[in-house]
Amino acid sequence: MLGRTASSLFWMSRYIERAENMARLLEVGYRISLMPRAVEGHRDEWLSTLTSAACQASYFGKHKDITTKNIIHHLLFDDDNPSSVRTCLKTARNNGRAVRTALTRDVWESLNGTWNEFVQIKPGSITTDRLPGFLDWIKQRAMLFRGALLGTMLRHDTYFFSQLGTFIERADNTARILDVKYYILLPKPSDVGSDVDIQQWATVLRSVSAHRSYRWFYRDSTYRPWLVAEFLILREEMPRSLTFCYQWITRSLDGLAEDYGKSYGCQREASEIYARLEAGKMDDIFQSGLHEFLQDFVKANNQLAAEIAQTYNFP
């Protein structure tokens, strides 16, 4: 396989994952903006959405004030925002198009169909009342893509490179959402355990579709920061946790090593990260600082992505 093909597969999946996460973040921000007490807190909630999505800089480069309309436009439709859903879907499709020959028809048609439908939609038509339905559609299209990938691709290098893109992106996203809540939205000591605090944790869980599974898993009606952090970092049962992502990253890299009969530094690095997560204890993580832990993780995750790119000759 060409190095460029591998790279395109990786980024195709990565951008679809990013589009889905963007839809989730917007969904949460939108819910909160609807709450009665949101009037004065409105600004802050959208700000935290921007921060979690890492779109602060691009947003304030174009807009002075935070308005719901501008936020929606910037995160969904803005061509100048490298992480807007539009940019993600377009880039994912362009990558898919460049490696059309490596994809099954189902995978290609899911990508292509999504883009063709997306461009039919006039940005102005997505008013707040139509937003939830539209965000659902984006998530469904991402799931269709993943379903097509899982259901039709041969389990060889093509599949492994796509999976790597998905899980590197997902791990980055989960770590970032958690860090934003824990570090940037850190409540004043007097607010710990307050409604606002609890609600923010609920937000974090919701943005990874885990607010219900948390309840089932911990049999607990209250969102406890420690448990939420544990759920999203260490629990292998939770499909967006860091440990879960690394289970799949190591699996994919091992798959490549087996296919190619050759193992490299990136296999070792991923196994080490995975082993650290598996052996991880929340006590230790909080002891040495959750923020530092997450920062280190995001860095290591990025480094691994760079290492993979270098090892397999991405252009």
Partner 1 sequence: MGNIFNEMLNPDGSVRGHYSQIHDWVGSLSKANVERALKEAEGIFRRLGITFAVYGSEEASERLIPFDIIPRVFAAAEWRRLTIGIEQRVRAINAFLHDLYHRQEILRAGRIPKDIILQNSAFVPQMVGLTPPRGVYAHIIGVDIVRVSETEFYVLEDNCRTPSGVSYMLEDREAMMFLFPDLFKSHRVAPVENYPAMLRQTLESVAPAGAGSEPTIALLTPGIHNSAFFEHAFLADEMGVELCEGSDLFVEDGYLYMRTTQEPKRVDVVYRRIDDAYIDPLTFRPESTLGVPGLFDLYRAGRVTLVNAPGTGIADDKSIYTYIPDVIEFYTGEKPILKNVPTWRCGEPKDLTYVLDHLAELVIKEVHGSGGYGMLVGPTSSAKEIEDFRSRLKATPKNYIAQPTLALSASPTFTTAGVASRHIDLRPFVLTGERVRITPGGLTRVALKDGSLVVNSSQGGGTKDTWVLED
SS3 235: coil
**Residue 134 touches partner 1, criterion: CB under 8 A:** no
**Residue 266 touches partner 1, criterion: CB under 8 A:** no
Binding mask 15-54 for partner 1 (x = CB under 8 A): ----------------------------------------
**Residue 312 touches partner 1, criterion: CB under 8 A:** yes
Contact 99, 7 (CB under 8 A): no
**Residue 302 touches partner 1, criterion: CB under 8 A:** no
Sequence-distant (≥ 6) Cβ neighbours of residue 197 within 8 angstroms: 187, 191
* 313 backbone dihedrals φ, ψ, rounded to 5°: 60, 45
Among 108, 145, 182, 248, contact with partner 1 (rule: CB under 8 A): 108
Residue 18 or 93 with smaller CB distance to partner 1: 93
Cα 37 from Cα 21, distance rounded (Å): 26
- By CB atoms closer than 10 A (0-12, 13-18, 19+), residue 125 is exposed
**Closest distance between partner 1 and the C-beta of residue 148, in Å?**
13
**Closest distance between partner 1 and the C-beta of residue 178, in Å?**
33
Among 262, 268, 281, 299, contact with partner 1 (rule: CB under 8 A): 262
**Residue 260 touches partner 1, criterion: CB under 8 A:** yes
Contact 4, 314 (CB under 8 A): yes
Residue 226 or 260 with smaller CB distance to partner 1: 260
Sequence-distant (≥ 6) Cβ neighbours of residue 141 within 8 angstroms: 110, 113, 114, 117
Contact 155, 254 (CB under 8 A): no
Sites of contact with partner 1 (CB under 8 A): 1-6, 94, 97-98, 100-101, 108-109, 112-113, 116, 157, 161, 256, 260, 262, 312-313, 315
